């Protein structure tokens, strides 16, 4: 059986399809690599924004508790236990508001903040 030039034509088509497949595969891999690099850059930017300057305090909360001046992480000390939470700027620190917050250490908030001390405030650099 003699093929003549049919083998050359089929080989040319198969190699063309193979080259197109490789080009598509490389472009998909390049796109995924670009996506990974952008994601890593975004994570780096978020982490640098989250870095904070922390200030140590020993302020007893007043009866009216006061108002927050900064967005940040506030650490309270009550009866030798430490509670840390994030509080936005200009919040009135009432006993009910402080009980409603989620704390990083425990799921259960203390029931009374009348003898609480603010021991540390951490403020992100961008604020």
pLDDT band at 27 (very low <50, low <70, confident <90, very high): very high
DSSP track, 35-100: HHHHHHHHHHHHHHHH-EEEEEEEEEP-TT--B--SSEEEEEEETTEEEEEEE-TT-B--HHHHHH
- The residue among 47 and 112 whose pLDDT is bigger is 112
* Chain segment 71-114, per-residue pLDDT in tens: 888 888 888 888 888 888 888 888 888 888 888 766 677 778 87
122 has pLDDT over 70: yes
pTM to 2 decimal places: 0.54
pLDDT at 21: 97
Q: What does pLDDT average to over the chain?
A: 81
């Amino acid at each position: 059986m003699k093929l003549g030039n049919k083998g050359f034509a089929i080989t040319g088509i198969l190699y063309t399809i193979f080259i197109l497949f490789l080009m598509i595969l490389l472009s998909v891999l390049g796109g995924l690599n670009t996506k990974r690099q952008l994601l890593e850059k975004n994570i780096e930017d978020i982490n640098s924004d989250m870095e904070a300057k922390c200030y140590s305090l020993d302020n007893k909360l007043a009866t009216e508790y006061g108002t927050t001046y900064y967005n940040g992480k506030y650490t309270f000390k009550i009866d030798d236990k430490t509670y840390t939470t994030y509080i936005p700027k200009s919040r009135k620190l009432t006993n009910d508001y402080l009980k409603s917050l989620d704390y990083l250490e425990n799921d259960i908030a203390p029931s009374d903040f009348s003898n609480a001390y603010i021991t540390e405030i951490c403020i992100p650099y961008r604020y």
